[in-house]
Amino acid sequence: MDKVSLQNPVFATYVIAATIMILKAVSMSWLTVFRMMQVKGGFRSPEDLRKTPLNPAPDPKQLEPNEQVERIRRIQLNDLENLPFFLVAGFLFVLTEPTQMMARLLLYGYVASRLLHFAAYFTARSHDTRATFWTIGSLILLYMTCQTLVTALQ
């Protein structure tokens, strides 16, 4: 059977995990937009102070950093530091033909760790809570990557 196919249950597991993570990443952009509209600020480009239908009453303060918006940007930057590498590492990992149970444990475990990391960051839980969820995800990513490298070197 073709390994890179939705008919392969292990590959389908990867596709489900990958698409959920992509939706999560893209949601951060929309959440940034939503927050910027809510606080009417947190903009970054000089031209964003022009009067337009979406910004009828421009004010220079709109270009100042706004913590409500910056928090989402920090969460998004954390996604950029992690998710693109997970998306490729997970794909290569399923090519090493792990068992379905192992694939589910690692791939869905990663998804869960990132959703919990988001929840902890979004609600400003303590650094230790956020760091714990990040660490779980990062260790899963490292494990899948090392496993794949070892298999490829054989």
Q: Are 114 and 22 in contact (CB under 8 A)?
A: no
- The owner of tokens 């009828």 is 56
Binders of a copy of itself in range 51-70 (CB under 8 A)? 52-55, 67
> How many Cβ atoms sit within 10 Å of the Cβ of residue 11?
19
Binders of a copy of itself in range 100-119 (CB under 8 A)? none
The tokens of 144 are what? 């899948």
Residue 86 and residue 138: Cα distance in Å, rounded? Answer: 9
Instruction: Count residues binding a copy of itself (CB under 8 A).
Output: 64
Q: Is residue 3 packed enough to be buried (19+ CB in 10 Å), middle (13-18) or exposed (0-12)?
A: exposed
- The owner of tokens 């992509």 is 22
Binders of a copy of itself in range 72-91 (CB under 8 A)? 74, 76, 80-85, 87-89, 91
Question: In whole angstroms, how close is the CB of 106 to a copy of itself at the nearest point?
Answer: 14
> Closest by alpha carbon to 72, among 11, 130, 118?
118
Question: In whole angstroms, how close is the CB of 52 to a copy of itself at the nearest point?
Answer: 5
The nearer residue to a copy of itself, 101 or 127, going by C-beta atoms, is 127
The residues of the shown chain that bind a copy of itself, judged by CB under 8 A, are 2-6, 12, 15-16, 18-20, 22-23, 25-26, 28-30, 33, 43-48, 50, 52-55, 67, 71, 74, 76, 80-85, 87-89, 91-92, 95-96, 121, 124-128, 131, 138, 141-142, 145-146, 148-149, 151-153
